[in-house]
Amino acid sequence: MRAECHGQHISGAERLLPGNELESAAIEMLQRALRHPRGAAQKISFHVEAVSARCVKSGKLLDLSNNSVDSWPQGRRLANRLLRKVGIPKAVAEHSIEILATGAAPSGQSMRGAMLIDADSGERLESDPARGVRASRMDLTAGCRQRLCRLLEQLNLNNSHVVEALTLATKVCSAPGIVAELCWSDDPDYLAGYVASRTLGYQRISHMKPAGEERGGRAFFVRCSKEELPNLVAWLEQAPLLIDQIGLVAGPLHRGKEV
């Protein structure tokens, strides 16, 4: 689903579902597009495509750690430190945070998808800097969703932002050539974000921007040759992944601690 208002992206969502759940999922997505905190949609598009069950891979969710910070500057410093832990140079980490903070699209607004950033040089690799790359065709099985929601409940984190972001990050981090992901929401009232990688898991950070800020986005840090890039993009956008196992969900690592 994709919702726009006068050409500006408001929200998007992707699912991978058994055919008999399509109708209810479409209604849910329509309701969400109509009542989005970024504004009322003027145009809502649905794209529905059959995927052969044979092509669907299964997988396990990343482990989630919840880092509570006192302020968004502290959150961004923690994100920077986590990115460096997975080998992203300091200058590349800092620059990527700065780009998301100032609006990654050429218009100075949020992009519709993610930036692809060379993990060593910091060069932007996506072919369309307004659209970026949208990860798609990933979801949780009904059982996995139920187990995850029960676990998140205990941390007071059971909301659709967390469930969807954890699902997306799991697919992105399992892609060949992806080193890490950085994200924070573009919704003015949702201030959290995360850094994720295969080794770090999903490191949730409670504050990544000031209240009311609509600039947010995603950076996928890439280490692959230019020739391999189209395959990576095709994998992110098209390879179906249905997650059927949950990972660990852990409490705060950095509650109120200066980092």
- Cβ nearer to ligand WAQ, comparing 90 with 234: 234
- Cβ nearer to ligand WAQ, comparing 20 with 156: 156
Pair type for strands 241-245 and 57-60: parallel
Identity of the amino acid at 52: S
Binding to ligand WAQ by residue 162, rule CB under 6 A? Answer: yes
Footprint on residues 75-114 left by ligand WAQ (CB under 6 A): 110-111, 113-114
The residue count for binding ligand WAQ (CB under 6 A) is 25
Among 2, 207, 209, 218, binds ligand WAQ (CB under 6 A): 218
Tokens of 34: 């109509």
Binding to Mg ion by residue 213, rule CB under 5 A? Answer: no
Residue 162 contact partner, candidates Mg ion, ligand WAQ, none, CB within 5 to 8 A by sort of partner: ligand WAQ
- Cβ nearer to ligand WAQ, comparing 88 with 249: 249
Q: Output the smallest distance, CB 133 to ligand WAQ, in A.
A: 6
Q: Secondary structure of 98-140 in the HEC alphabet? A: HHHHHCCCCCCCCCCCEEEEECCCCCECCCCCCCCECCCCEEE
Q: Output the smallest distance, CB 126 to ligand WAQ, in A.
A: 10
Among 70, 118, 120, 187, binds Mg ion (CB under 5 A): 187
Tokens of 203: 């490191």
| 17 CB-near residues (< 8 Å, 6+ apart) | 25, 139
Binding site for Mg ion (CB under 5 A): 186-187
Binding site for ligand WAQ (CB under 6 A): 12, 14, 110-111, 113-114, 134-136, 161-162, 165, 168, 183, 185-187, 190, 192-194, 204, 216-218
